[in-house]
Structure 1
Amino acid sequence: MTYRVIQWTTGVVAREAIAGIIGHPDLELVGAWVHSPDKDGRDVGELCGREPLGVTATRDAAALLALPADCVCHMPGRDWVEDPSRTLAGLLEILRAGKNVVNLWWPTLVYPRAESEEVYRRLQEACLEGGSSFCTVGMDPGYGTAGLALSALALSREVETVRMSQFMNNAHWEGPGITKFFGFGRPEVADTPMLQPGVTAGYHATTLHLLADALDVKIDEIVEDHRVIYADEAFDIASGHIPAGTISGVHYEVKAVAGGRDRIIVEHIERLREQDFAELEFKGDGYRAEVVGEPCVRLEMTLSSKPDFVGDGIAVASAMSVVNAIPRVCEAPPGVLSLFDLAPFPSRNSMIRRSGS
């Protein structure tokens, strides 16, 4: 069966999603929503640096939702941070229109039951009204942390702790957003948005609750901790200059405490140089899930690209974690879903199939 897909925005990660959609044998791109007037009315292929696809981008959401489409691939950027109520209203409109939604942005919706009772209730009501399903994937929160940990838990008993880790080199990211977010190049953590009290806990709480429900563990409290390192010399990255003596790496943990012990932990290692945080023994970009139980399990997933690839492999992984889930979400009964509810969704976007071999 072919599922007709509307792509919601055409930014950096969304362009990788479009490539995945048009290369997937079970998906057909039928529309795209865009923010800016200069993109309105243009061919989606042109916007993505490709040959024309015969699909026109539009700012007219109502016209898109009137199309006979099966799913919306929802990637509206970081609007949810500034105005979550507006993002929620948009999602509810799409779901009530009978369109299934695979969501990347607003990543805490990876487990909507733990986001808030009101958000979960409104999403569930919209799904039932429209006969649609909703699921958020992504890498973290998402497949890189919770998905990997759930796989590790399939192999163990007498589980004591679960640790989920993301390792990311941010040196190649362009634009000021990443430096501002993690405080890179700043002299002290007081100017670092991500490390303000409650921010990391708020970002990862739903992941902790997802794993707690998997383990049937009641969380007593969630605590956060962090440390930073400072550049021993000045250097440049894609987004700017890092002066000596300023923040060049961040290691934070968010921990779910149960029975007086740290039972479930999410940690991030955000660095600008490969040699930083070498004691954590992880090379490159990727994820690690560790289960202390019987047996103890460690799963590691590294992400890289082929030498001739022009782009960002992390962006591709983020996009495809959503695109590959589309058939499963479309086939599911109406309602709010999580990684708990989906069977594995391997890629069918194959070079072998495309080459005709």
Structure 2
Amino acid sequence: MISTVVWGTGNVGRAAIRAVDAHPALKLAAVLVHNCDKVGRDAGELGGLQQGLGVTATDDIDAVLAAAPGAVVYAATGDIRPDEALDDIGRAIRAGAVVVTPALYPLYDQRNAPPEFRDPVLEAIADGGGSLFVSGVDPGWGNDVLPLLISGLGTTIDGIRCQEIFDYSTYEQEDSVRHLIGMGHGMDYEPLMLAPSVPTMVWGGQIRLMARALGVELDDIRETLERRALDATVTTRTMGEFEAGTQGAVRFEVQGIVGGEPRIVIEHVTRIHGSCAPDWPTPPDGGDGAHRVIIEGRPRIEVTVEATDEGENRSAGGNATAVGRLVGAIDWLVDAEPGLYDALDVPLRPAAGRLGRK
């Protein structure tokens, strides 16, 4: 079995602990945490499982990597600390580990990634013999393998639209929701995640990756943005109160322009409460979230995926499917040559050995 470390126990890390524990080819070897209050706690508790796993969380990075794990699921955030995340990941690769992570947006399309991200990873691979696969939590499969797979069912293709429709009211990452995305701030606040060029920095790699797979040249990548204020104050279970008049919903697109037209589009529709911007796209059953792919052409194809986890929490379900893509790739990566991989390299495979597994 492949000894596997989960590094970080937030929204992604919780799901990663469960995914590693359920995978028949993997063995959870260690859990790394930053919060000293989590040190010594059992991984099963941190992962939201009903039983202990006999693995206690530690903050001793050196000791964990010195044990030469076969794989690391790097679940710590890279949103506001990309340099630190890159350094952490490089350490794990130099230790010889296969690393899977959603933390480094520029490496979604690793072939066209900026040298300041790509070169250190390639150097770490050359030094230690590990590998890296980066895929998103938005989720990555919804903006690469799923639309590309479905496009193969069409006769003619006019365009591809990937939608994430998401209600943040059950999400547990308040700093990102309030400050990076701007929910609950005044409409004059300029959230970092919505600043010009930032959506392209985050999702442009997936646009380029899809264009590469489809064999088309992009003229440009463009952005659109709409914001809506809350009509009434709302209270969320995980993040408290959001006042009327503050930002309550955001809709933006990252558009891949082909022949002067937006042909490959990643669209995000996010709300802090379902009552805001009711005229924008919503999940088909009015739930917390959904991921939708629309292939315009002949025939027109529309596929909507809804996932729940941790009860009926669709935000956790989206994280869990994104983690499933990453964790499910580990044994393939271990068998492959050391290298830097993207979603077009790593196959999405059946869940062999996991049917009926608790």
TM value normalised by structure 2:
0.88
Residues 175 and 217 of structure 1: CA distance in aligned 2, closer, same or farther (over 3 Å): closer
The SS at the match of 1:156 is coil
* Partner residue in 1 for 2:162: 164
- Cα distance, 1:210–1:274 mapped onto 2, change above 3 Å: same
**Contact 2:306 2:314 (8 Å CA) reproduced:** no
List per-residue Cα deviations over 1:231-283 (Å, max 9, x = no partner): 22332223232333332211111112232221211110002333534453533
| Equivalent position amino acid for 2:307 in 1 | L
Residue in structure 1 matched with residue 133 of structure 2 by the alignment: 135
8 Å CA contact 1:190, 1:196 repeated in 2:
no
Q: Deviations 1:100-149 (Å, cap 9, x if unpaired)?
A: 11112224422222331342233233224322221112332511222221
2:34 aligns with 35
1:92 alignment counterpart: 90
Please say which of residues 165-174 and 37-46 is displaced more in the overlay: 37-46
Partner residue in 2 for 1:244: 244
Letter in 1 for 2:204: A
CA distance in 2, matches of 1:305, 1:59: 27
Q: 1:318 to 1:162 in 2, by over 3 A?
A: same
- State the SS of the aligned residue for 2:189: helix
Instruction: Tell me how far 1:230 sits from its aligned partner.
Output: 2.3
CA deviation after TM superposition for structure 1 residue 218, in Å: 2.0
Corresponding position of 1:81: 79
- 1:316-335 matches, within 5 Å, as 316-335=320-339
| Cα distance between partner residues in 2 of 1:39 and 1:281 | 37
Aligned residues: 351
Find the partner of 1:302 among 300, 303, 306. Answer: 306
Work out whether 1:341 is the aligned partner of 2:345: yes
Aligned to 2:234: 235
Task: Note the aligned Cα RMSD (angstroms).
Answer: 2.6
Instruction: Flag structure 2 segments of 5+ consecutive residues without an equivalent.
Output: none
> Mean Cα displacement is larger for which, 225-234 or 238-247?
238-247
Could you tell me whether the CA contact under 8 Å between 1:73 and 1:103 is conserved in 2? yes
| 1:103 matched residue in structure 2 | 101
Does the 8 A contact of 1:256 with 1:265 survive in 2? yes
* Closer/same/farther in 2, CA of residues 29 and 176 from structure 1, 3 Å limit: closer
Amino acid at match of 1:251: R
- Pair 1:183-2:182 in alignment: yes
Distance in structure 2 (CA, Å) of the matches to 1:68 and 1:263: 45
| Cα contact 2:154–2:297 (8 A) shared by 1 | yes
Distance 1:253 1:68 in 2: 42
- Paired position in structure 1 for 2:295: 291
Distance apart, 1:307 and its partner CA = 5.6
Distance 1:35 1:301, change over 3 A: same
Deviation at 1:187, TM superposition (A): 3.0
C-alpha separation in 2, matches of 1:261 and 1:189: 31
Output the CA distance in 2 between the equivalents of 1:269 and 1:310: 15
- TM-superposed deviation, 1:17: 1.2
Q: Return the alpha-carbon distance in structure 2 between the equivalents of residues 301 and 309 of structure 1.
A: 14
Rounded Cα–Cα distance in structure 2 between residues aligned with 1:156 and 1:125: 41
Provide closer, same or farther for how the CA distance between residues 183 and 10 of structure 1 changes in structure 2, counting only shifts above 3 A: closer
Distance 1:306 1:16 in 2: 9
The alignment status of 1:270 with 2:270, answered yes or no, reads yes
- The verdict on how the C-alpha distance between 1:157 and 1:215 changes in structure 2, with shifts beyond 3 A counting, is farther
Q: CA deviation at 1:290?
A: 1.7
* Whole-Å separation in 2 of the counterparts to 1:305 and 1:240: 22
Identity between Structure 1 and Structure 2 (%): 29
Following TM superposition, by how much is the alpha carbon of 1:35 offset from its aligned partner in structure 2, in angstroms? 1.3
Unaligned runs of 5+ in 1: none
**Correspondence list, 1:142-157, <5 A:** 142-157=140-155
SS in 1 for 2:93: helix
Q: Which residue is 1:280 aligned to? A: 281
Shift of 1:210: 0.5
2:234 and 2:273 in contact (8 A); partners too? no
SS in 1 for 2:136: coil
- Kept in 1, the 8 Å contact 2:164–2:292? The answer is yes
In structure 2, how many angstroms separate the alpha carbons of the residues matched to 1:85 and 1:247?
29
Q: Are residues 153 and 117 of structure 1, via their aligned partners in 2, closer, same or farther at CA, if it must alter by over 3 Å?
A: farther
Could you report, residue by residue, the CA deviation over 1:217-239 in whole angstroms, capped at 9, with x for unpaired residues? 22222211111222223322232
Verify the 8 A CA contact 1:189 1:195 in the aligned structure 2.
Answer: no
Name the stretch that deviates more: 21-30 or 118-127.
118-127
CA 1:184/1:57 → structure 2, altered by over 3 Å: closer, same or farther? closer
Contact 2:139 2:318 in 1 (8 A): no
Instruction: Give 1:42 shift.
Output: 4.4
